[in-house]
Chains A and B, each alone.
Chain A
Amino acid sequence: MSRLIFFFFAILGLFFTAKAQETIKVGEFASLTGGNASFGQASHKGTLLAIEEINAAGGVLGKKFELITEDDQSQAGQPATIVQKLIAQDKVVAILGEVASSKSLEAAPICQQNKIPMISPASTNPKVTEIGDYIFRVCFIDPFQGTVMAKFALSKGWKRVALLTDVKQDYSVGLAEFFVKYFTSHGGEIVKEQKFSSGDKDFKPQLTSLKAAQPDAIFIPGYYGEAALIGKQARLLGIKATLMGGDGWIGDSLLKVAGKSLDGSYVSTHFFDQDPSPVVQTFVKKYRARYPGETPDDMAALGYDSAMILAAAMQRAGTTESAALRDAIAATKNHAGITGSITLDEKRNASKSAIILTIENGAFKFEQSVAP
């Protein structure tokens, strides 16, 4: 009798292992609640859309993906615990996440240690992928945007550009540094540099001094709160120069505060839902069909791309074994993503095009896409 029971359990065990092998487990950690919830929800929805699409098309290596999503509640300390759990208990083969660089920086050492490939959709801080060779990202990093805007300014024929940077933000300083590097080495001239600190409200002294230098354009790599006030005050002071910024400008309140004073300005970003390219338009359509009433933003598009790159790499590797999978992800080349053609460089950062938007009548409008 006992032999029979043993036999029964042995069969049952076999059955379960066989069942488990039918799916490929992929872990995702995101800020689904808390302060960064709008970012986390968007990237999760994009990721989920990609996984569902892959599964509908038959999955990868003959198996379906199983996405295990954990919420880090936007809290520091949570990502480490969650990622540990995903790796140790759920035995995921790869990790997708997070949007915020600080969260990715917490999870990355654990993934690196366990040799589980991690792909961050939108952490732009350069340090994230420096953690180790198992850490990747599908977004461009901060310095790249500076270079893109410098190229754009030169292409518009603006040779005299002034800078207004936020000294309290690494993001701003990084963008400015790489803007200057490219711009000055390609025939441009920085006619004046002024600084401000996050939280400042009065920019008239800086703008007065910039105005006196008579620049063709002013590059303001700050966040939307300050950018809106700068735009407003610049127009009041009679500054006619074109204003330029990075993706930090893109926030709800930018156009609410600035009204039409930012009309004619340019910003760089990852993705824009009104980008006329067919890839983007198909994605927007699919996204709206899956999530009625919602429009995908850059986080959703990057989440989608991160899952797609993982799936494509796994297909090429022909296995989910971690070293082979890592090598395959690292070899990603010209992946046709929603946010552009993505190639991962030797530092595991995405090299891809950026989107430049202009502002017209108080609304963003697609201008062009700039190759790296």
Chain B
Amino acid sequence: MVEFLQQLLNGISQGGIYALIALGYTMVYGILRFINFAHGDVFMLGSFAGFYLGPLVLRLCGGTPSFAVAGLTLMFAMVGCALVGMLIERLCYKPLRHQPRINVLITAIGVSLLLENGGQFLFGADPKSFPDLITDRALELPAALGPLSALTITLSQVIVLVVTGLLLIVLHVIVRHTRTGLAMRALSLNPVAAQLSGVDLNRIIGITFGLGSALAGAAGILISIQQPSIDPLMGINAGLKAFIAAVLGGIGNLPGAVLGGIVIGLLEAMIVGYGSPTYRDPIVFAVLIGILLFRPAGLLGKTILEKV
């Protein structure tokens, strides 16, 4: 029982990270109807931002790992990734906005390859040891919990869950309760009508890329706190899993991306814990195929009839 709950916890904390990345895929898809395949690599850049900025922040804060160090580094990585995301959109996707969608899709693959191989060139291909921003440790659970006190919850897991939760709330507020959010939703619903009513297309698309990339940057820091070994190709697998999570939840649907992320994280933990990691990736990809075959709109997506 404790083992099962432990796996549940492992799965949710990994799933939270997938969810953060999946949101970026789904937000961009919601507005531009295309998959930004370079998104997983922005997540990788977030990790490397932490790798290079972390030690500086650490020195500024007196040299001891603390919440402040982790928080500041997280912030810097988010801002950095937001800028990178907006830059990619401005340079690579915007000039192609009125071209067939396949062009921009292939460009996204090109950007992804550029970031991966450029990363190997700039940072080196060998795995790097991520600096200790916060001293990770197992939390003592009160004995009052009975047999449940045997559960091991690490500080980094708590941080991942709390930060993911906070970011989701912030995102929810932005999308549901601000004029920018309203404009984003309007664009996603009907781009032409939205522009006719005065929505600035370029600004909203820029903000969407910025927000999505900032979340990916946050995910990059969070995963590196848990698993302090990073390399320039780390975004490929994480990006693919998050993409599957976004499709599973219903691409374009924000709560769906979160749900999908958690489900994929749990699924992986359970397959590895009770089966074999050999089957982990095949099963996760089988889920993608299954969902596309039987429920193409995803778990929370609405099926919309397209007029021919």
Contact = CB atoms under 8 A, between A and B. Distances in A.
Interface of A: 167, 194-197, 199-202, 204-206, 208-209, 211-212, 225, 228-229, 232-233, 236-238, 253, 256-257
B229 interface: yes
A201 B272 contact: no
A288 to B, nearest CB: 28
B278 A195 contact: yes
Q: Looking at A200, A202, A212, A256, which has the most chain B CB atoms within 10 Å of its CB?
A: A202
A208 B10 contact: yes
26 contacts: A167-B277, A194-B277, A195-B278, A196-B277, A197-B277, A200-B277, A201-B223, A201-B229, A202-B10, A204-B10, A205-B272, A208-B3, A209-B7, A211-B3, A211-B6, A212-B2, A225-B229, A229-B227, A233-B227, A236-B136, A236-B137, A236-B152, A237-B154, A253-B129, A256-B129, A257-B127
Contacts of A202: 10, 14, 226-227
B273 to A, nearest CB: 4
Contacts of B138: 236-238
B274 interface: yes
Given A228-B229, A238-B138, A256-B129, A197 B278 contact: yes
B228 A205 contact: no
Interface in B177-232: 223, 226-229
A221 to B, nearest CB: 15
A208 B8 CA distance: 11
Contacts of A197: 277-278
Contacts of B129: 228, 253, 256-257
Given A201-B229, A238-B138, A212 B277 contact: no
Given A225-B127, A236-B154, A195 B228 contact: no
A174 B273 CA distance: 23
B274 A229 contact: no
B273 A206 contact: yes
Nearest to A252: B126
Given A205-B273, A229-B227, 13 more contacts: A167-B278, A194-B272, A200-B277, A201-B223, A201-B234, A204-B269, A205-B272, A209-B7, A212-B3, A236-B136, A257-B127, A257-B129, A257-B229
Contacts of A206: 272-273, 277
B268 interface: yes
A204 B153 CA distance: 11
Nearest to B11: A205
Interface string B1-21: 011001100110010000000
Interface in B1-55: 2-3, 6-7, 10-11, 14
B99 interface: no
Nearest to B136: A236
Interface residues of B, number: 32
Contact of B268 (A195, A196, A205): A205
A150 to B, nearest CB: 23
Interface string B117-142: 00000000011010000001110000
B273 A209 contact: yes
A237 B152 contact: yes
Nearest to B128: A253
B303 interface: no
Nearest to B125: A35
Among B14, B138, B156, B273: residue with most chain A CB under 10 A: B273
Nearest to B137: A236
Contacts of B272: 194, 205-206, 209
Interface in B123-180: 126-127, 129, 136-138, 152, 154, 156
Contacts of A257: 127, 129, 228-229
A253 B127 CA distance: 8
B276 A195 contact: yes
A232 B130 CA distance: 13
Q: Select the residue from A204, A209, A212, A232 with max chain B CB neighbours within 10 A.
A: A204
A-B residue pairs, 7 tightest by C-beta: A205-B272, A201-B227, A205-B273, A212-B3, A204-B10, A257-B129, A205-B269
Nearest to B230: A201
Given A196-B277, A201-B227, A209 B3 contact: yes
A257 B129 CA distance: 5
| Among B10, B14, B156: residue with most chain A CB under 10 A | B10
A204 B7 CA distance: 8
Candidate in A167, A196, A205 with the most chain B CB atoms within 10 angstroms: A205
A200 to B, nearest CB: 7
Nearest to B17: A202
Contacts of A199: 237
A192 to B, nearest CB: 11
A241 B148 CA distance: 21
Nearest to B14: A202
Contacts of B127: 225, 253, 257
Contacts of A238: 138, 152
Contacts of B11: 205
Given A201-B229, A202-B226, A236-B136, A208 B277 contact: no
A5 to B, nearest CB: 61
Nearest to A233: B227
B290 to A, nearest CB: 22
A102 to B, nearest CB: 19
A209 B274 contact: yes
A42 B274 CA distance: 44
Nearest to B274: A209
A208 B278 contact: no
Contact of B6 (A208, A228, A256): A208
Contacts of B270: 205
Contacts of A211: 3, 6
